[in-house]
Structure 1
């Protein structure tokens, strides 16, 4: 009777790249400034565009309509752009030092 020997090769190891660190989040002061830079012009624009049409509505209803317009514009359009710009500026400033 013959016995066959089964050999298994060790799994090949592949070098792994070092994990890339995510950029640090902006400080609370920078986030506040970025939020203000998004909110102020958006609210001003909303007042200019919608104000004349909403003038006869009660204040809570006017506020509801304004926030229904302002919040999505700020959250989905302006803040991502401002955060991206802030990240680029932070990288550029970090490269000079």
Structure 2
């Protein structure tokens, strides 16, 4: 059970991160491309981690609750 839940959680994380990264890149790519790589990844992670932790993953967990609990 735990192993299946781990795989489902990993898939759900990817499903959440992928569109958010694309949206952030779409709106901020021109600005971010002018910043050195280390600062660019610092900025992206500073945006993505709180957004994922406090907004998107709680929403996805609620939306996919039955699927996550299903054995």
Under a length normalisation based on structure 1, what TM-score does the superposition of the two structures give? 0.62
Equivalent position SS for 1:27? helix
1:90 CA displacement? 5.5
Equivalent position SS for 1:57? coil
CA RMSD of aligned residues (A): 2.2
Gaps of 5+ in 2: none
Q: Comparing both chains, which one has the higher relative contact order based on Cα–Cα distances under 8 Å and sequence gaps of 6 or more?
A: 2
- 2:18 is aligned with 1:43: no
Work out the number of aligned pairs and report it.
70
1:62 CA displacement? 0.6
Pick from 7, 27, 32: which aligns with 1:54? 32
Question: Larger Cα Rg: Structure 1 or Structure 2?
Answer: 1
Aligned pairs for 1:57-76 (under 5 A) are 57-76=35-54
Please list every run of at least 4 consecutive aligned residues from structure 1 whose deviation after the TM superposition is greater than 2 angstroms: 88-91
Under a length normalisation based on structure 2, what TM-score does the superposition of the two structures give? 0.82
Task: Tell me the equivalent position of 1:80.
Answer: 58
